[in-house]
Structures are given as structure tokens and as C-alpha cells.
């Protein structure tokens, strides 16, 4: 029997090998089937191999950007097929666009993302295992991530809807929440999907309430892409600080009200899920397509980065 063999280390080496861009390549390099390779990494490292590779490659890209690498070069080195896909993934992960990272050589901390195992990129080609790191709450991260990704899918689908159909009142008198007003059209439902995060983020960080607008789908998609990374970064910060029981006094309400942070996230995710299914009905698409189980499976088990 072979001694001195660190099987987990071999699997990690296979995940991060420069040539192993797919799950099949990783498993083959480790002399394992994709099924057993993925199961072992999930069990021993608490993270699927494709998700781990994607995260570590983004951390490496952030380090490269700090050193002066262009966004384009960092994107392709990280395995993305387009700069746009890389920029979206980077912004979702770090809470700011890759251009904001360029040249930050004097940053105090390494560009690490939350990890359930403390495994991170360490320049130039090594790994660092932080034994003190606490795991990010996977449920909260998945709820927020799924909501943002699924909302974007629906907004993208709506760009192909004729304007008359987009704005036509097909749900007369319908309101999701009394204080939000009527949501009778696809335009109103999708606007509230985005605006709810804009308003709550303003309350959480002390900004003014954004003005109500009646945007076309393309503009609404731009608004979503602007608020999504900040929304994700806000909840990751809450989780890192263990601040779920903290309260915020929302001065935007009249009169001002206080809200527990955990309840704010639960509120937004609950009504966002309802609106997303309403939007699917109005778009005439499969209601089951928004299943978070399907989203999680595609996001973690597909071969290559998610653009």
C-alpha cells in the first residue's frame, strides 16, 4: 500500500492545474471519474471543484490586476471566453468591477473571496490555507446569488418583448405589496424586482431613495447590473461580521422604522421569488426554469466558468 500520499492535495492540484479547465480534465488528471472526484472534493473541502477553481482563478485575476495586468488578459487567463462575462463574474464576486482593482498594489489584504475551507490563491502559483477563516453561510449566499442571476435571466428575456406587450396591464388591480403600488404589467413587475434592491440598499448604506422610473428592459438591465454587485457585497459583509441580528433604522420610512438585517434579506428574497414567477408567467416561459436546485447544479457542476 502506498504511504505518504496526500490524496486531497492531489485532487486540489488537479483542480488548479493550468491545463484542467473542465471537470472531466480535472478528474482525469487525478485518475478519478468526474462523479467520484466531485463527491470527494465536496466532502473533504466543502466546495465543488468547478466552483473552487472559478473562485481561485478570480482571486488570481485580482492579484494580476493589482500588478498591472489588463482586464482583457486577466479574463482570458482565468478561462473566460469574453471580457464581459469575466467582468460580470468578477463584480458579483468582489462587489466592484475589475477596473477598480487595477493597480491596487498597496492594498492591505490579499484579494481573497469567502471560502468554506480557507483555500485561496497565493502568488505567484501557490495555495494558501487560512485556518482561521470562517465559512460563509452557504444558504444566504445561494439565496442572494440565485435571486440576482435569475432576475438577470428574466430581464434579458424581456428585452425581446415588444414595448406594447411589455407595458400592457395584464394583471388588472394586482399588487404584490400594498405600499409598492400596482404591478399590473411585466414592466412594473420587473421594475419592482430591481427597485426593491435599490431602495433597501439605500436604506442600509444611508443613501437617498432612488427616483421611481419606467425604464425599458435594456435600461432596467443596466440598473440591475449596477446594483447587483453592491447588493451581494453588502450581505457577504453582514455574514462575515456575524451581523444578522443587527438592526438598521430606516430613516427613509415615515415614520422611521428599525429592521433586523436577517429579516430584511428574508423579506427581499421572499417577494423577489414571487415576482420572478409572476414575470415568468407574463413572459410565457417555464415556471420550473427558476428552480434554485437547477441553478445550483448548473453553476457548480458545469465545465468552465459561468459567464
Please report the pLDDT score of residue 167 as a whole number.
96
List Cβ neighbours of 306 (8 Å cut-off, separation of 6 or more): 54, 85, 89, 298, 299
Residue 179 has pLDDT above 50, yes or no: yes
- pLDDT tens digits along 69-116: 899 999 988 888 899 999 998 988 888 888 877 656 555 566 788 776
**The CATH number of 7-129 is which of 3.40.50.2300, 1.10.10.60, 3.40.1080.10, 2.40.420.20?**
1.10.10.60
If you count them, how many residues does the chain have? 307
Report the alpha-carbon distance of residue 288 to residue 191 in Å, rounded: 22
Under the banding of pLDDT at 50, 70 and 90, the label for residue 301 is: very low
- pLDDT tens digits along 12-48: 888 877 778 788 888 888 888 888 888 777 777 777 8
Q: Can you give the pTM of this predicted structure?
A: 0.59
Helix (H) or strand (E) holding 10: helix 7-16
Report the alpha-carbon distance of residue 145 to residue 231 in Å, rounded: 10
Report the alpha-carbon distance of residue 50 to residue 81 in Å, rounded: 16
C-alpha cell read off for 122? 497565493
Q: What are phi and psi of 21, to 5 degrees?
A: -85, -10
Report the alpha-carbon distance of residue 228 to residue 29 in Å, rounded: 36
- Cis amide linkage into residue 255, ω under 30° from 0: yes
The topology (CATH level 3) of 138-301 is 1.20.120
**Where are the domains positioned within the chain?**
7-129, 138-301
Report the alpha-carbon distance of residue 73 to residue 172 in Å, rounded: 51
Amino acid at each position: 500500500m502506498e504511504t505518504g500520499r496526500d490524496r486531497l492535495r492531489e485532487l486540489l492540484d488537479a483542480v488548479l492545474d493550468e491545463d484542467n479547465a473542465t471537470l472531466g480534465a480535472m478528474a482525469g488528471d487525478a485518475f478519478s471519474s468526474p462523479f467520484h472526484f466531485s463527491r470527494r472534493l465536496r466532502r473533504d473541502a466543502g466546495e465543488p471543484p468547478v466552483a473552487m477553481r472559478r473562485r481561485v482563478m478570480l482571486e488570481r485575476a485580482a492579484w494580476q490586476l493589482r500588478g498591472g495586468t489588463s482586464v482583457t488578459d486577466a479574463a482570458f487567463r482565468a478561462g473566460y471566453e469574453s471580457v464581459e462575462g469575466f467582468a460580470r463574474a468578477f463584480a458579483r464576486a468582489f462587489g466592484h468591477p475589475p477596473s477598480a482593482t487595477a493597480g491596487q498594489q498597496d492594498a492591505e489584504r490579499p484579494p481573497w473571496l469567502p471560502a468554506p475551507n480557507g483555500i485561496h490563491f497565493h502568488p505567484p502559483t501557490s495555495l494558501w490555507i487560512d485556518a482561521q477563516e470562517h465559512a460563509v453561510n452557504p444558504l444566504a449566499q445561494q439565496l442572494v446569488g440565485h435571486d440576482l442571476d435569475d432576475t438577470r435571466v428574466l430581464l434579458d428575456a424581456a428585452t425581446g418583448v415588444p414595448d406594447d406587450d411589455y407595458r400592457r396591464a395584464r394583471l388588472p388591480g394586482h399588487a404584490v405589496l400594498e405600499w409598492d403600488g400596482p404591478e399590473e404589467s411585466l414592466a412594473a413587475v420587473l421594475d419592482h424586482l430591481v427597485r426593491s434592491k435599490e431602495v433597501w440598499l439605500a436604506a442600509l448604506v444611508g443613501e437617498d431613495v432612488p427616483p421611481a422610473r419606467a425604464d425599458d428592459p435594456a435600461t432596467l438591465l443596466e440598473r440591475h447590473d449596477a446594483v447587483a454587485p453592491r447588493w451581494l457585497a453588502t450581505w457577504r459583509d453582514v455574514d462575515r461580521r456575524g451581523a444578522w441580528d443587527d438592526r438598521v433604522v430606516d430613516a427613509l420610512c415615515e415614520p422611521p422604522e428599525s429592521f433586523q438585517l436577517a429579516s430584511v434579506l428574508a423579506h427581499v428574497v421572499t417577494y423577489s421569488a414571487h415576482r420572478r414567477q409572476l414575470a415568468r408567467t407574463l413572459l410565457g416561459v417555464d415556471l420550473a426554469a427558476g428552480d434554485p436546485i437547477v441553478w445550483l447544479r448548473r453553476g457548480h457542476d458545469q465545465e468552465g466558468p459561468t459567464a
